[in-house]
Structure formats: C-alpha cells, structure tokens
Amino acid sequence: MSETSVLQEKARARTDISTRANPFDKATVFGFQLQGWRKLWLVVGLIVAIGLPLIVPDFTVFQLTQAMIYAMAIQGLNLLTGYNGQFSLGHSAFYAIGAYTAAIMMDSFDASYVWTLPVAGIISLVVGFLFGFPALRLEGLHLALATFALAIATPQLLKWKPIEDWTGGVQGIFVFKPDPPFGLPISQDQWLYYFSFAVLLILFVCAWNIVRGRTGRALIAIRDNPLSAKSMGINTSLYKSLAFGVSALYTGVAGALGAIVVGFVAPDSFTFLLAVSFLVGLVVGGVASIWGPIIGGIFVLFIPNISEGVQGLLSGLFGWVGVNITWLIYGVFLILVVYFMPSGFAGLWRWATGRLMKLPSRF
C-alpha cells in the first residue's frame, strides 16, 4: 500500500469518527447514563442563566453579559484554531469591525440595534474570507505574524483622518443603550443580558452543528493532515478561507453586541491585548471544545478583577501602596491553570468524568 493510501485511510478514520455512536454516551455515572447527566446539566445551566439576572445587581449582570460576549468571540477563534488548526493573533480586528459597524449604523443611520448584528456579521465574514485567501500561503508562525500585523494596524486605521467623520477618531462613538421592548419590567442591563444570551445560544448551536457535520469533518481533517485531506478531494483552500470567514463572523457579532452593551467604542479599546485575551480564553476553556469558550469568557473577564482584589488585600496586609502587581497576579493565575489543567477546563471535565465512570454504580 502506498504512502498516499495510508494517509487517506488515516484521514478517513478521523473524519468518520464523528458519525459513529459515542461510546461514552452509554457509560454510567452513579447508575445513570452520561447522556442523561449532560441533559440534566444543560437544563440546570439554562435555569441558572435565566434566573441569575433577577437576583444579582445590575453591575454584575453587565459583567456576565460581557463574559458571554467574550465567549462568542472565543468560540469564533475556537472554530478557526481549535478545529481547523489556523493560529490567529488578530481577532481583535474582527471584533473592532463588528463594534464599529454597529456603532456607525446606530449613530449615523439611526438603525435598530437588532439589525446591526447580522450586518456586522456579514461584513466581518467578508473581511475574514478575503483575508483568508492571501493567508493560505502562510502557516504556523508566519500566519500568526500576519494576523498580529492586522491586530496592530486596526486601531491606527480607525484613527485615520479621512474616515474620522465615520469612526469618531480618537474620541470614538457613543451609543445609547436600548430600552427593554414591550414595556418589560426589567432594567436595560437585564434586557441586554437576555438578548445576548439568546444570541449566544444561537451561535453555539450553529457551531455544534458545524463541527458535527460534513464541514466540521473537513476542517478537522485539514487540521490533522492537510496532505491527506487534499488527496481525499477536500478543497483545502476553500475550507480554510471559510473557516476564517465564519470565525470572523462570530467575532464580529460579538463586537457588535459589545458596542451595544458598553455604549461606547474607541480605537484604543481594540488593542493587541484584546486579541491575546481571546487566545487566553480559548486555552483556559479548552481548545476544540464547544462549551469551553464559556469558561474562557468568564476567566478573561473576572480574573483581572479578582487580581485587582488580591492586590488590594496584599496592599492592606503588607503596605504595598503604589506598587501595581495586578498583572503579576493575573500571570500567576494563568500559570497555575495551564500547569494543572493543560487541556483547559474542558479537559479537566473529561478527566473527572472518566474517573467517575470507574466508580461502582452503587455509589
């Protein structure tokens, strides 16, 4: 058998695996099938997510909404990096495109905030798809450098004087937060939470379908072995560009929601640090995991705040007044997570589930 035939057989085995029945679904934990536990946790999670905004302060609701928005952006990066193997450091640019599309539509054209999401997604998809074509010749570190250049250039482009009338230049654009529709007796922050939660569910269900379908199998085959995928008839160039486009679409929709929720956009809000934060969220949540970006979004938003709290505590105990060690504490948190959970929270969940399945059912 030739080397090409061997590669084809290996790639076919990988791509067909998602069509087979998952043996873990029939496994039992404490006497109940794992699939039943998943449904139970899904129902519990939905109940908690729906009820939480009604019992916590509005500022916490605002933070949770931002965490969901980050989760959407991280999911977009997950489809590109986790499932297709293309490394990107430039997703802050797509986030900025979505945010400015929403802000300009609402500020200059008095458009409804609802319609800004699909427009922002489509524009981001086109930009991502077009960027993906020239990036086809690049892989690994070279692709990372190209996307890095995109992240660095975007804030400067938004300050460019010829388009300052549209972007607001360094001063940015203010956006009014929408009121709850139909006279609902909830605050603006609560309504935006539920609106963002609905969008998150739609995007995550679509991502789940993409990954489990023919497109997802093609993306995974390209990630695992591009040569064998191409020999099987997969149009690797098209799928790589589509992966960039769909990934940018997710991030652009997240950016549009971010502009609506925060009520303000400015070039300095979309620096390279934001792109790195998305990558951190992807690694912490778990690469190539559908629900991992939710954990990643929570980590990206809340751990810096927790780090500031720890700094305040240490300053009070040891008198470290005027010494800013917030990012040092954040780095310690990140190192601990990567060291003890190298596969992220999704990997930890799989490990814990595997351990529980080995316990006797009578327990």
pLDDT in tens, 144-164: 899 999 999 999 999 999 999
Q: Is residue 319 pLDDT above 80, yes or no? A: no
- Cα separation of 197 and 76, whole Å? 16
* Distance between start and end Cα atoms, the chain: 50
- Cα separation of 145 and 148, whole Å? 5
Q: Is residue 16 pLDDT above 70, yes or no? A: no
Q: What would the two tokens of residue 118 be?
A: 């699909």
- Cα separation of 236 and 86, whole Å? 12
Among 165-174, 212-221, 354-363, the minimum mean pLDDT is found in 354-363
Q: What is the mean pLDDT of residues 81-88?
A: 94
Q: One-letter amino acid identity for 18? A: S
Q: What is the mean pLDDT of residues 191-212?
A: 96
Q: Please name the residue that has the structure tokens 């998602």.
A: 18
Q: Please name the residue that has the structure tokens 């609905």.
A: 198
Residues in CB range of 235: below 8 A, 6 or more apart: none
pLDDT at 36: 67
Using DSSP, how many helices (H) and how many strands (E) does the chain show? 15, 4
What 3-state class would DSSP assign to 32?
Answer: strand
pLDDT at 317: 76
pLDDT at 18: 44
Phi/psi at 28 (5° precision): -115, 145
- Cα separation of 261 and 170, whole Å? 20
Q: What would the two tokens of residue 15 be?
A: 């791509």
Q: Are strands 32-33 and 264-265 parallel, antiparallel or unpaired?
A: unpaired
Percent of the chain with pLDDT over 70: 87
- Quick one: which of 177, 360, 142 has its CA closest to 264? 177
Rg (CA), the chain: 22
Q: Is residue 58 pLDDT above 50, yes or no? A: yes
Q: Is residue 13 pLDDT above 60, yes or no? A: no
Q: Is residue 125 pLDDT above 90, yes or no? A: yes
Residue 170's CB is within 10 A of a number of other CB atoms, namely 12
- Cα separation of 35 and 22, whole Å? 10
Cβ atoms of 226 and 236 closer than 8 Å: yes
Q: Please report which confidence band the pLDDT of residue 265 belongs to, taking 50, 70 and 90 as the band edges.
A: very high
Tell me the DSSP string of 310-349. Answer: HHHHHHHHH--TT---HHHHHHHHHHHHHHH-TTHHHHHH
Q: What is the mean pLDDT of residues 169-184?
A: 93
Residues in CB range of 24: below 8 A, 6 or more apart: 34, 353, 357
Distances (CA, A) of 170 to 85, 223, 260, 272, 284: 35, 40, 19, 17, 33
Q: What would the two tokens of residue 357 be?
A: 């399945």
Q: Please report which confidence band the pLDDT of residue 23 belongs to, taking 50, 70 and 90 as the band edges.
A: low
Structure-model confidence comparison of residues 29 and 325, the more confident one: 325
pLDDT at 258: 97
Measured in whole angstroms, the distance separating CA 202 from the mean position of its chain's CA atoms is: 14
- Cα separation of 45 and 41, whole Å? 6
Q: Is residue 356 pLDDT above 90, yes or no? A: no
Q: Please report which confidence band the pLDDT of residue 355 belongs to, taking 50, 70 and 90 as the band edges.
A: confident
Among 140-144, 155-159, 297-301, 332-336, the minimum mean pLDDT is found in 140-144
Q: Please report which confidence band the pLDDT of residue 17 belongs to, taking 50, 70 and 90 as the band edges.
A: very low
Residue environment code for 347-362, b if the CB has 16+ CB neighbours within 10 A, otherwise e: bbbeeeeeeeeeeeee
pTM (two decimals): 0.90
Among 103-117, 152-166, 240-254, 338-352, the minimum mean pLDDT is found in 338-352
Phi/psi at 101 (5° precision): -60, -45
Cβ atoms of 89 and 280 closer than 8 Å: no
Structure-model confidence comparison of residues 256 and 38, the more confident one: 256
pLDDT at 181: 93
Q: Is residue 263 pLDDT above 50, yes or no? A: yes
